[in-house]
Structure 1
Amino acid sequence: MADGPLRELGETLRAARKGERCSGAVLASRAGVSQPTVSRVESGQRVASVEAVEQLIAALPFSQEEAKRLTLMARDAYALTSSEKRVDAGVSLVPGAGRKLLTSASVVWGFQNAMVPAVLRVPEYATAAGGGAGSFADWDRVLADEGKSFRFVVTESALRTWPGSGEFMPAQLEHLLTFAERANVSLGVIPWGRGLPMMPPHGFTLCDETGVLVETFTAEMTLTGQKHVTPYQDAFEALTAVAVTGDDFRRVVEGVAADITRFIQLIH
């Protein structure tokens, strides 16, 4: 959530940028930061460090006095945050911590480059992946909450690989298309042949601005604290920018489903 000083700071920077007829991408290049960082600062949200905010201030045509005032405002806001110790900030391997975070979040973002996101798996996929059919019921209840907002991005490669025999994949892909029609769900896919702005080494799930869930081969890590959350938020925004949604998402998924159906028919 944005606090008062950062909201005021963000609005001031946005007004200055628009007064210059400067896009967020141009300002990001001029300041030496990422475009998602510009968006987050302008919306009053915190980023990884105050230095990025100072770079944005320096890149805009403020007077010397105004630039100094805004820089001090940013430093005071970030100093206040760093002085507030949080017992849950860091890395947790406690079983169930991630699920608790997910069920309490109002906004959930997820990226996967190898598998269908856990919260979108049909029971057969979940069982083949080792999660058990019971886990599907838990995620289904989470998705049924219309008060939550969900955004997921997957690579096309993640849709063309599967655990087990894969006989359930046509139903799994139809399940994705059905969820894409929900008002509180946005699904995107990064098609084959499209370059990525970065290649995350693993999938991840963001819960509000509170934490990140990262599933490894042996455990599920829950990362909290701004130094962990902000880089994942920036990565998700960058990946979203190269994903297709809506009708284009449907076309890619339907194409994958047709290919997999033909493959399954050939081997059976």
Structure 2
Amino acid sequence: MSTDFQSGREALGARLTELRAEAGLNGKEFAERLGWQRSKVSRLQNGRQTATAEDLQAWAEAAGHPDAAPELLARLRGLESQQRHWRRQLAAGHAPVQDRYVVEYRRTATMRGYETTVIPGLFQTPDYARHLLVQNAELMNSPRDTEAAVQARMRRQEVLYEAGKLFRVLVWEGALYALVGTREVMASQLDRLVGLIGMSTVELGIVPLGAPMALTPKHGFWIFDEERVIVETINTELQYDSADDVALYTRVWDQLHDAAAYGAQAHRLIARARGAVAAQSQPSPTS
């Protein structure tokens, strides 16, 4: 069990203890009110058992604070997000994870995203995606189902052609120069990006390296329908759906958006990176 997860569970237990104490009941009395075993109350309070949503709702009502239920449920969702470690998600390979994303993207109408080091999966060519998936399988020691995963990632891109969708995506200019695979693979990937400019469902912005910025770029993130945020780290996928968290990431995205280049200017930035790739692939002149 991760330290972060256990710390969060203990913090939730401390909050439950606080609510129970405010009700003026000891553990035995509170268990009787709930109709539970006293041991369950103890385990929840001490962070030795993960509460269910039903447990938390019942606890809030028994403590005389039904208004505390949303807060407790938000804490529980926070715990659940911390459990989505890539090692567990990738136990059956990358393809099932990609298929899950296909479903999530299809039920999303508007998405805002920001990537700092890689071209987003929505915009990747098969060869670019293939190299990334192989690298990740090696890193995570997960099953090598690369071709199935590539196909699933390409299926995800079908949402780009669905009416009523809008994908507002920002990419840090440095990602255009991060070599993934061969220079030919990278050149094709940059050509793919250029082809997305002007699509009715895509708003592609490039955050220039030298742009004045209200804040420095940090990690990538994705906002789904202004309702939840997904952040991918090396070992974990985190999800946040509290109003405060969504509002915070929205403010960050808005500031990055203000610094980004769009349209013809974005095209020029991509073309510059494409030119750099082409120049590096040319043989050095001989004297």
**TM-score when normalising by structure 2:** 0.59
Cα separation, 1, equivalents of 2:235 and 2:76: 22
Q: Answer with 114-123 or 124-133: which moved more.
A: 124-133
| Aligned counterpart, 1:224 | 241
| Among candidates 122, 127, 144, match of residue 125 of structure 2 | 122
| Among candidates 108, 111, 123, match of residue 108 of structure 1 | 111
**Shift of residue 181 of structure 1?**
2.0
* 2:108/2:224 contact within 8 Å kept: yes
* 2:161/2:201 contact within 8 Å kept: no
User: Are the structure 2 counterparts of residues 112 and 130 from structure 1 closer, same or farther at C-alpha, using a change threshold of 3 Å?
Assistant: same
Q: Answer with 190-199 or 105-114: which moved more.
A: 190-199
Q: Which runs of 5+ in 1 are unaligned?
A: 1-78
Q: Which amino acid in structure 2 is aligned with residue 114 of structure 1? A: T
Q: Answer with 208-217 or 80-89: which moved more.
A: 80-89
Give the match's secondary structure for 2:183: coil
Structure with greater helix percent: 2
**Shift of residue 221 of structure 1?**
2.2
Write out per-residue CA displacement over residues 135-164 of structure 1, whole angstroms, 9 at most, x where no aligned residue: 432321222222210111111111111323
Give the match's secondary structure for 1:244: coil
Q: Which amino acid in structure 1 is aligned with residue 244 of structure 2? A: K
**Shift of residue 190 of structure 1?**
1.4
Cα separation, 2, equivalents of 1:86 and 1:138: 32
* 1:151/1:187 contact within 8 Å kept: yes
Write out per-residue CA displacement over residues 73-98 of structure 1, whole angstroms, 9 at most, x where no aligned residue: xxxxxx99967957985352444566
2:193 corresponds to 1:176: yes
| Aligned counterpart, 1:53 | none
**Shift of residue 236 of structure 1?**
0.4
Cα separation, 2, equivalents of 1:136 and 1:152: 17
- CA-based RMSD: 2.7
User: Are the structure 2 counterparts of residues 205 and 266 from structure 1 closer, same or farther at C-alpha, using a change threshold of 3 Å?
Assistant: farther
Cα separation, 1, equivalents of 2:73 and 2:218: 30
| Aligned counterpart, 2:252 | 235
User: Are the structure 2 counterparts of residues 200 and 255 from structure 1 closer, same or farther at C-alpha, using a change threshold of 3 Å?
Assistant: closer
Write out per-residue CA displacement over residues 60-111 of structure 1, whole angstroms, 9 at most, x where no aligned residue: xxxxxxxxxxxxxxxxxxx999679579853524445665443311001111
**Shift of residue 227 of structure 1?**
2.4
User: Are the structure 2 counterparts of residues 115 and 108 from structure 1 closer, same or farther at C-alpha, using a change threshold of 3 Å?
Assistant: same
Whichever of the two has the greater Rg, that structure is 2
**TM-score when normalising by structure 1:** 0.63
User: Are the structure 2 counterparts of residues 121 and 88 from structure 1 closer, same or farther at C-alpha, using a change threshold of 3 Å?
Assistant: farther
Percent identity between the two aligned chains? 24
Q: Which runs of 5+ in 2 are unaligned?
A: 1-66, 90-96, 135-145
| Aligned counterpart, 1:141 | 158
